Amino acid sequence: MTHYPPIISAFVTMMLTLLLTLNKNGMIQDIPNERSLHTEPIPRVGGIAIMAGILSGWILLFHFWEWWIVLPVLGLFMLSLVDDVRNLSAKIRLLGHFVAAVIVVAGAGVQWLWLLPILLFIVWMTNLFNFMDGADGLAAGMALFGFSFYGVAGLMHGNEAFAMMNFTIGAAALGFLYHNFYPARVFMGDAGSIPLGFLAAAFGVWGWQQGYWPFWFPVLVFSPFVIDASATLLKRTRRREKLTEAHRDHYYQRLIRMGWGHRNTAVAEYMLMLAAGGSALWGIGLDAQEQGNLLAWWGAVYLGLATWVDRRWRQHEVMKKSAAEI
């Protein structure tokens, strides 16, 4: 098995991202608003380079493709690219996400008892990656670490082709991260975040179906995104806010707004990603009770982190209000 796909993927993504951003005036721009964490217009064409990089690497792995992953991810890429340009309605986007999820469920041969949970898991992962793509280097870092851990797990079970496909995705994220880490010169846009979220779910289901890992493994590997996005959604639902509206209530957004900045927040998130993914790999070899203990431990960790950020945020808002009244 050749080891060139990840190298090709990283190189193509890095160079194409550079080329796409040379003429900023002709590119799709992310215009800052009151809910943004950036202050200047930034091109959001990175998704084109990421997908080109992934496909360039995957060409050498053509015989190992699964149609029920490749076809829907290409469809989601095209749909999301149109959305970047024309701002499609939430209903159209969500319909496309569900269609892609149905294709995966059918292609992977998921048992009927798991159909609905897996369907919802794929749709949620597809969207939450997009929700979490709001800070320099964050989504690209999650893709780099998350798919790399998938790849290592594939190698542990002797499937080098499966591993290389995941490493290729991670390498594309690395090539993009070169331009996206603080201060970001380009964003990936929906054309990048939506396919990456879908692939995180699709490969997670594929590995689970192949017996490479238990069902909780993909969730723990991507838990820095899953927990933040899910907790924020629950809080906004409880407050009866419009869920399709942009906001700045994610935990990573609050860290940045409290003064951590993009760089420190990204580095802290990277450390969390490494810890979560590393422990997930270690947990594959544990018995059921030990795996349960591992998940309970991580639940306590995330509860503690969320409580700490919430408390600091309330203090920050009180101090901000007091300063405004002086």
Q: Is 190 annotated as a binding residue?
A: yes
> Going by C-beta distance under 8 Å and a sequence separation of 6 or more, which residues neighbour residue 50?
13, 172, 173, 175, 176, 188, 192, 195, 196
Alpha helices, DSSP H only, in the chain?
4-20, 46-58, 67-86, 90-108, 115-131, 138-156, 160-180, 190-209, 217-221, 223-238, 251-255, 261-283, 288-325
The DSSP annotation for 261-292 comes to HHHHHHHHHHHHHHHHHHHHHHHTTS-HHHHH
CA torsion sign for 43, 48, 49, 51 is positive
Q: Is 130 annotated as a binding residue?
A: yes
Annotated binding site: 130, 190
Annotated binding site for Mg(2+): 130, 190
